[in-house]
Structure 1
Amino acid sequence: MVSQETLTAILEMRTLFKQGDDKRDAGLDPNPQGVIRYDNLAYGPDPKWHLLDLYLPQNASGKVPLIINIHGGGWCYGTKETYQFYGLNLAQHGFAFLNPNYRLAPAVSFPGQLDDVNRYIHWTSEHAAEYNLDTNNVFLVGDSAGGQMAEQYITLLTNPEFRKLFGYELPQLKFRATALNSAAVFVTDPGMITGAVTGYFTAEVLATKAELLATEKYITKDFLPVYLSTANEDFIHDQTIKFAGFLEAKGVEYVCKSFGDKKHPEPHVFLMNQRDELAKQCNEEEVAFFKAHLVN
């Protein structure tokens, strides 16, 4: 049972985040040149939340490498529409971009959203041929809450013991690298699960599913090569820096960048702002990181 206090916090978060996102994206073109978009493809039974959009570079020849997105929003906010401009930009760089919805807290608690991620990743495996997607070159991106889920999904892909805890099967996709942007890694650290977030990671979840949240315990040297981004005014900046050190100790390939300074401050998940020059730089660096890990 989610408390009234948590419900109020969720509603306040949704209102505040949507105001900021709408202001950020006002006037951007949802149909830019060079991109073909397929909207509202169903990947599961829920008619609202089990939908995804797919953006393809128009002039691509041969099979198209794919970026799969897991959006952020504190596990209780966000839609594919919020992420369309970010995804369209990456499609203009030569990648297909999968942009899904998933169910939000408090309608679903952990690990319900990861179940949706697993569902749409398997949908991708099953439908890749229809859209000429390159199943041998797949990349995963996640920001904030989506970064936490991307971290978890990569861990269960690369560690059978962790995957067994969730009961998932491996998709027929070859993931080559990932980008975790302002990611909520080490999610059980003090101060991470508070306010609206408790609508997803409920007291019951924390009491009964602690092992499923112990992601870092199961990360091995086989974790994917990862580009980590954060910013000088990212409220969870230190989680990214801590994770970089953790990956270093594990022997995992990574790049870690923090953007912004006192004269040009950057906030949490700044790279979604398509008008921001540092966001443009970050996105181009991540694209270059992915292209460096393409396999012929």
Structure 2
Amino acid sequence: MANSVKEKKKKHTGAKTMGIVFGIILAIIIAATAVIFILTKPVDDKSDKAVYVGGLLSSQSIEYKDASSKGLESNPIIKIMQIVWKGVDKDDKKNHAEQTPPSKITKVKDIEYLNTGNPYHMLDVFYPEGDLPEEGLPVIIDIHGGGWMYATKDLNEYYCMELASKGYTVFSISYRLVPDVTVNEQIQDCASALKWISENMKNYPANASSVMLTGDSAGGQLALYEAVLNQSPELREIFNTQATNLNIKALLLTSPVAYMKNGGMYSVYTKPLWGKDYKQKATYNYMDLSEIIEYADNMPPTFFITSSGDTLAHDQTVTAYNLFQERGIESELIDYGEYNGEKQKHVFSVLDPFSEPSQEVITKALDFYQKALLK
């Protein structure tokens, strides 16, 4: 009888303990959900607290959200990454504040390439001050990175100014961000920007016969896709985009993340960026570079940059380079090692273009471009 009473007490105590544990877990979940909700609540785009992270801008006059991304904003990975990218934004702004960009650069800011009023549908132009050749300068078009969810053209402004200081007219474009849209709409935005540039570069000191397209990280993927779609009416129909009419002479790809479906552990993040229903979309079979490269019979010479400290895209960059080599596409790769005992991080030459390692690889990339122009 005594043992029976003890057993009942143990069961009661155990049930009570389990109740407390579940209560604590529930409280943690509720608190975490509340924190995530607060940190990912959209802010008016005119506010000084506005951050250019997908899904975090609101407006009474601009419709940021596209129907293609329906349901994507509630994806827990997307919610977490919104918070991550907000943190990256703070670091990038601090990094910029510590840099000194080149002087004597003409800047033409915030040109609309689509008449939507959307701040993501804008581009900038940079070129050196002073007397310029009548035929214009060779052109570089830059597509910024940011994991498809973060940033605008302003993130790469110092990089573009540095390129311009070396004798180029540089166009830098923004595009809408996930989860307001999917990657497919970003490809469409970039194509619209490139078409605008092809039709309007005559208004700037730009030589239309000399164009290099460049991008870093997610921007590298977008640049690659634009170069391939530029040659394929069939793919443009699948992606519902347009011809850019650009004569792309070279590509500069810095740590391109070009394998979004079969990209290893990162695919858990990258696949949903094509939409909650990405498996049902026409683009499903074209989410990796290896699935679209056969549509391009005349890829321009391509220069790849990665580094030993590139934990995000080193392997993808090398894989893309090897694919180009296998297909006989003229290409070079810089896999930068250590400098003064330190590994260079992801897209180091873009985020800190003034360091010695960055200057070294930028010089080599521009030499590659100049050689491509002679062919």
The AA in structure 2 aligned to 1:242 is T
2:245 matched to which residue of 1?
A: 172
Conservation of the 8 A alpha-carbon contact between 1:43 and 1:52: yes
Q: CA deviation at 1:129?
A: 1.2
Q: CA deviation at 1:33?
A: 2.4
Aligned pair in 2 of structure 1 residues 47, 159: CA closer, same or farther (>3 Å)?
A: closer
Q: Percent identity?
A: 25
4+ long deviations beyond 3 Å: 27-30
Q: CA deviation at 1:150?
A: 1.0
The AA in structure 2 aligned to 1:26 is A
Cα distance in 2 for partners of 1:43, 1:295 equals: 31
Q: CA deviation at 1:199?
A: 5.7
Q: Which stretch shifts more, 2-11 or 183-192?
A: 2-11
* Correspondences of 1:1-296 after superposition (within 5 Å): 1-2=71-72, 3-29=74-100, 32-44=102-114, 45-59=116-130, 60-62=132-134, 63-189=136-262, 190-195=264-269, 197=270, 200-208=273-281, 209-219=283-293, 220-235=296-311, 236-261=313-338, 263-272=341-350, 273-295=352-374
Conservation of the 8 A alpha-carbon contact between 2:216 and 2:256: yes
Q: CA deviation at 1:295?
A: 4.9
Question: For residues 176-208 of structure 1, what are the alpha-carbon distances to aligned partners after superposition, in whole Å with 9 as ceiling and x for unaligned?
Answer: 00011011012211323334x456223312332
Partner of 1:83, secondary structure, is helix
Cα root mean square deviation, aligned: 2.0
Conservation of the 8 A alpha-carbon contact between 1:165 and 1:212: no
Aligned length: 294
Aligned pair in 2 of structure 1 residues 101, 294: CA closer, same or farther (>3 Å)?
A: same
Cα distance in 2 for partners of 1:27, 1:276 equals: 12
The AA in structure 1 aligned to 2:96 is D
The higher radius of gyration belongs to 2
The AA in structure 2 aligned to 1:111 is N
Partner of 1:193, secondary structure, is helix
Conservation of the 8 A alpha-carbon contact between 2:310 and 2:347: yes
Q: CA deviation at 1:214?
A: 4.3
Conservation of the 8 A alpha-carbon contact between 1:106 and 1:199: no
Conservation of the 8 A alpha-carbon contact between 1:221 and 1:250: no
Cα distance in 1 for partners of 2:369, 2:267 equals: 31
Partner of 1:127, secondary structure, is helix
2:25 matched to which residue of 1?
A: none
Cα distance in 1 for partners of 2:104, 2:370 equals: 19
Partner of 2:182, secondary structure, is coil
Higher relative contact order (CA 8 A, sep 6+): 1
Aligned pair in 2 of structure 1 residues 41, 107: CA closer, same or farther (>3 Å)?
A: same
Cα distance in 2 for partners of 1:221, 1:169 equals: 18
Cα distance in 1 for partners of 2:98, 2:224 equals: 33
Q: CA deviation at 1:4?
A: 4.9
In structure 1, runs of 5+ residues without a counterpart are none
The AA in structure 1 aligned to 2:170 is F
Question: For residues 123-168 of structure 1, what are the alpha-carbon distances to aligned partners after superposition, in whole Å with 9 as ceiling and x for unaligned?
Answer: 1011111113211111100110011111111111233432332243
2:35 matched to which residue of 1?
A: none
In structure 2, runs of 5+ residues without a counterpart are 1-70
Conservation of the 8 A alpha-carbon contact between 1:128 and 1:135: yes
The AA in structure 1 aligned to 2:355 is D
Cα distance in 2 for partners of 1:231, 1:83 equals: 19
Cα distance in 1 for partners of 2:78, 2:330 equals: 40
Question: For residues 263-296 of structure 1, what are the alpha-carbon distances to aligned partners after superposition, in whole Å with 9 as ceiling and x for unaligned?
Answer: 1211111112134211111111111111112259
Q: CA deviation at 1:29?
A: 4.1
Q: CA deviation at 1:216?
A: 2.1
Conservation of the 8 A alpha-carbon contact between 1:57 and 1:96: yes
Conservation of the 8 A alpha-carbon contact between 2:139 and 2:168: yes
Give me the TM-score of the superposition, normalised by structure 1: 0.92
Partner of 1:200, secondary structure, is helix
Q: Which stretch shifts more, 210-219 or 70-79?
A: 210-219
Q: CA deviation at 1:25?
A: 1.4
Q: Which stretch shifts more, 92-101 or 204-213?
A: 204-213
Cα distance in 2 for partners of 1:169, 1:204 equals: 23
Partner of 1:194, secondary structure, is helix
Conservation of the 8 A alpha-carbon contact between 1:55 and 1:88: yes
